[in-house]
């Protein structure tokens, strides 16, 4: 004879049409008594489902509704949970990944039925469709973050994206300019209107948004040294191009400027003042940026980056991206190399 189950442990019963039902009381939620029920074909299956629910109840979790799909949850995650926790640009990236990859491959699956196998199948399908390992990694990382919040909210009991095997990224050898190549690059920069900006890209190792986000107020004289403080960057998102503070304290840094760089920036400032006089009232450099368009407006990060391959090809160096300028070998150009404070 089986013992009577205690209060709150749940119940299993058979309906008039012969189906077995597992039911467990989850307590009060938003002022209403909440009960979860599952239908099963046999008594054993009903008991099994009830026992699966009991640990979640006692650990204070509330599983997602049987009808909640991955697509529905991701829509809520994007609209309710993410805003304010990441930058606008990152929100846009998440939304794009959800729309192009996650919803397409996983959207119709019920959230509480999603498995590591489903995630692995998505990764395989993306690869077969010609998407790169980086794209697959971004898709898995976005899903992992979304499911981490679902796990925190008690909607799922485990993060299946974390369990699923990640894509293997091919090892790519980085490259840096030799001192001779750097001198060839700098020679062509002297002919370019924004040559001073591209020189800083090479010699200070700054990101493109950081370079064009520099203001004249970021340059200071401290004792016998001239320094520049990197604290903001120009970014583009749905609202347009605008300045944004750097994300972390470690990203904000102060660099010494060598005398040749100081001379270069002084020459650039004179050129900018002449442009401002030429444009008159049409000149608008409200943020007092060091590098601007010919009318004083902020530069677009993407367009600025496209200038590097034009310069390197003109210098006879072939195609280089602006990201490859961040780690130059300046051991043989000591007068130009900066120091970090």
Which has the closest alpha carbon to 87: 99, 97, 76, 95?
95
Task: Please provide the average confidence, as pLDDT, over all residues in the chain.
Answer: 84
> What are the backbone angles phi and psi of residue 83, rounded to the nearest 5°?
-55, 130
Which token pair is 324?
């490859």
CA dist 38 and 61 (Å) reads 17
Give the confidence band of 336 by pLDDT, cuts at 50, 70, 90. Answer: low
What's the confidence (pLDDT) of residue 318? 93
What's the confidence (pLDDT) of residue 2? 42
Give the confidence band of 43 by pLDDT, cuts at 50, 70, 90. Answer: confident
| pLDDT per residue as tens digits for the range 175-203 | 888 888 999 999 999 999 999 999 999 98
């Amino acid at each position: 004879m089986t013992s009577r189950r205690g209060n709150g442990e749940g119940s299993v019963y058979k309906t008039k049409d012969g189906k077995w039902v597992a039911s467990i009381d989850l307590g009060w939620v938003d002022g209403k008594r909440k009960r979860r029920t599952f239908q099963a074909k046999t008594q054993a299956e009903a008991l099994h489902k009830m026992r699966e629910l009991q640990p979640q109840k006692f650990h204070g979790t509330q599983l997602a509704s049987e009808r909640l799909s991955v697509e529905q949850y991701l829509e809520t995650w994007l609209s309710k949970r993410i805003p304010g926790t990441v930058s606008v640009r990152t929100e846009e990236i998440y939304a794009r990944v959800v729309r192009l990859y996650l919803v397409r491959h996983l959207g119709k699956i019920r959230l509480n039925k999603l498995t590591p196998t489903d995630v692995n199948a998505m990764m395989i399908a993306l690869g077969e469709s010609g998407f790169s390992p980086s794209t697959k990694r971004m898709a898995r990382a976005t899903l992992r973050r979304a499911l981490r919040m679902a796990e925190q909210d008690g909607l799922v009991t485990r993060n299946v994206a974390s369990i699923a095997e990640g894509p293997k990224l091919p090892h790519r050898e980085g490259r840096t300019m030799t001192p001779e190549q750097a001198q060839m690059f700098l020679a062509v920069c002297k002919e370019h209107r924004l040559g001073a900006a591209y020189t800083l890209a090479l010699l200070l190792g700054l990101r493109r948004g950081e370079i064009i986000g520099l203001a004249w107020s970021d340059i200071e004289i401290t004792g016998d040294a001239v320094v520049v403080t990197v604290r903001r960057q120009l970014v583009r998102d749905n609202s347009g191009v605008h300045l944004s503070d750097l994300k972390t304290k470690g990203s904000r840094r102060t660099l010494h400027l060598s005398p040749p760089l100081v001379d270069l920036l002084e020459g650039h400032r004179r050129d900018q003042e002449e442009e401002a006089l030429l444009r008159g009232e049409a000149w608008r450099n409200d943020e007092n940026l060091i590098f601007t368009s010919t009318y004083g407006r902020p530069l677009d990060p993407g367009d600025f980056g496209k200038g590097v391959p034009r310069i390197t090809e003109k210098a006879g160096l072939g195609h280089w991206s602006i990201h490859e300028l961040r780690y130059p070998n300046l051991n043989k150009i000591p007068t130009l190399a900066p120091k970090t404070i």
